[in-house]
Amino acid sequence: MKFKRHSILAIVVSTILIISIITSFSVLLFDKVTSSTEENQFFLLESILKSRIHSSEDKVYQLGEMFAAMPKVKKYFAEGNREKLYNELKEVYKIQDEKYGIADAHFAVPPATSFLRMRDFEKFGDDLSYKPQVLSANAEKVSKKGEALSRTGPVFYAVLPISDTLGNHLGCVQVDLEFPAVLDKLKATYNIELSLFINEKMLTETSTKVGGEIINADNRMGAYIKFHSTNWDLMKNLLIEDDFSATDGIVDPFVREYAKTDYGIFMHPLKDFTVTC
């Protein structure tokens, strides 16, 4: 995708910014954008990002529905047979992981006890009551989807209740999709650069399995940590700490020059972000 300004062609750079836990996504206004061409390019970027966010939510939900509806899943889950359930799903889980970047499919029994992690068969029986979506799925038999911070970082998630063939509630399954895989696919499809930033305090408190390879001085931008980037060498030369200082997360799209090239920069705050997953 090309971007025109002062007759110079430049790659449009997009930054996804997780900034706070609020109630809804916000639409950025373009009244300060320097031309209608730039406005159209930024609007297109926003549309692409929002579309991919929603499609990623739908993808994990559809996978959760598939797992929850499989007759043998219901059977082995009802029997409490972890090995048969794992063997039934391991090939389809592997395919979905390779194709979409599925981080996990995690089964839990009421009220909130881990039954089976497809990514880690040996770990089970631990308390998941810190996950409100699991508690809701098992207590209220409701499904949920959205974005969250897991112990290993940001994910798209869907959690669905599972019933046996007679309609008796058995438990639930949560499917997670890794954010970096989504950003990499956007780069491959649209040739735009993206970086994902997370508030450092939120990241260190919630994503306890994230270590120094991510949380370090090179990745720090003010109060935020770069969790993933499709081109960090470019991004860290385009962005400055003041770009992240808006208290409400709303930053108008802007243009910045680097190495004699103008880049359009669009920062999109993700809201409704659950921090316990």
User: What H or E segment, with its residue span, contains residue 198?
Assistant: strand 193-199
What tens digit of pLDDT does each residue of 73-94 get?
999 999 999 999 999 999 999 9
Helices 71-79 and 36-69 cross at an angle (nearest 10°) of 60
Q: What pLDDT sits at residue 4?
A: 41
Stronger pLDDT, 240 or 26, i.e. the higher one: 240
Helix intervals (H) in 10-70: 36-69
Residue at token pair 């706070």: 20
Residue-level pLDDT at 228 = 93
- 6 or 173, greater pLDDT: 173
What mean pLDDT comes out for the span 97-124?
A: 93
If you compute the radius of gyration of the chain from its CA atoms, what whole number of angstroms results? 21
Domains along the chain with CATH numbers: 2-55+180-274 (no CATH), 59-178 (3.30.450.20)
Give the residues across from 197 on adjacent strands.
Answer: 17, 226
d(CA 264, CA 245): 19
pLDDT value of position 247: 64
Is this prediction's pTM over 0.85?
no
Highest mean pLDDT among 5-9, 44-48, 96-100, 220-224: 220-224
**For the CA atoms of 262, 241, 227, 234, what is the dihedral angle to 10 degrees?**
20
**pLDDT of the residue at 219:** 95
